[in-house]
Amino acid sequence: MSGAITGTKTGNESNLENAMQLMIQTFHKYSGNEGDKYTLSRSELKEMLTQELGSYLGNPQDKDAVDKVMGDLDANNDGEVDFTEFIILVGALTVACNDFFLEFNKKNEEKKE
Amino acid sequence: MSGAITGTKTGNESNLENAMQLMIQTFHKYSGNEGDKYTLSRSELKEMLTQELGSYLGNPQDKDAVDKVMGDLDANNDGEVDFTEFIILVGALTVACNDFFLEFNKKNEEKKE
């Protein structure tokens, strides 16, 4: 059985399997702290944003910023972020990073010409 | 500037930043081989599926399997998979793995009781 599925590291994972494993591990690291252990409460979300994405999201200590992310993600409006909602956040951020990275490369190439 | 944005590894990334970086790197590792260097052609997609997700997808050497993934992902029907379509695939697989992992844990807990 693949390590990425069971969440244990076997050392034979591809880069993409590693990425999937890291996303699963990160979610459960924070979701287990209080309440429903399979969802992120508002304070678990804040902790996750601060620890994992501080450099992307500016200052997530800012209560309004956490409320905004929670409002955008919590599609079913239950005050909790589930795993699918978390993956949508990470996916959207990754697409934004990739766009930024391509733009950055394009500008560098233009400079060289 | 954050390493995950520029695609260079600084060693200070969080696990989640690492995951995002690995997804960006994996896509560009295969997308640059032929044609448009920012999209996966059918043969680049097949190479990526075989190398990175062989253990998940059974036998992606199977031409029908590659055609099926391509058909499902290629929303705009241009025969190429762009970065957003790639992230949707990885996200969907990660949600499926997480569901499997929770189910697996639940069964193990029931056995203990």
Task: Please list the residues that pair with B40 across neighbouring strands.
Answer: B81
Are A60 and A22 in contact by the 8 Å Cβ rule? The answer is no
Phi, psi of B52 (to 5 degrees): -100, -30
Whether B57 has its CB under 8 Å from any CB of chain A: the answer is no
How far is the C-alpha of A92 from the C-alpha of A57, rounded, in Å? 13
* pLDDT higher than 70, residue A4: no
The pLDDT of residue B55 is 74
Residues of A in contact with B58 (CB under 8 A): none
Give the integer Cα–Cα distance in Å for B102 and A32: 13
Task: Measure the CA–CA gap between A89 and A76, rounded to whole angstroms.
Answer: 15
The tens digit of pLDDT for each residue in A89-112 reads: 999 999 999 999 889 888 888 887
Give the chain A residue nearest B52 (alpha carbons): A14
- Tens of pLDDT, residues B58-102: 665 666 777 878 888 877 778 899 999 999 999 999 999 999 988
Residue A23: exposed, middle, or buried by beta-carbon count in 10 A (0-12, 13-18, 19+)?
buried
Per-residue model confidence (pLDDT) at position B61? 61
Going by C-alpha positions, the residue among B2, B52, B75 that lies closest to residue A93 is B2
pLDDT given at position B64: 76
Structure-block tokens of residue B27: 């896509």
For position A65, what pLDDT does the model report? 73
Residues A47-54 have a mean pLDDT of 90
Q: Which residues of A touch B18 (CB under 8 A)?
A: 19, 22
Higher per-residue confidence, A86 vs A71: A86
Chain CA centroid to CA A100, Å = 17
- CA dist B83 and A36 (Å) reads 33
Nearest C-alpha in B relative to A37: B102
The backbone torsions φ and ψ at residue B75, rounded to the nearest 5 degrees and listed phi first, read -60, -40
Q: Report the C-alpha gap between A76 and B87 in whole angstroms.
A: 23
Residue B4 has pLDDT above 50, yes or no: no
Contact A3, A16 (CB under 8 A): no
pLDDT of residue B110: 87
Q: How confident is the model at residue A10 (pLDDT cuts 50, 70, 90)?
A: low
Question: What is residue A51's three-state secondary structure?
Answer: helix
Nearest-Cα distance to chain B for A104, in Å, is 8
pLDDT at B6: 47
Name which of B6, B52, B100 is nearest A5 (Cβ-Cβ).
B100
Token representation of residue A57 = 């999201």
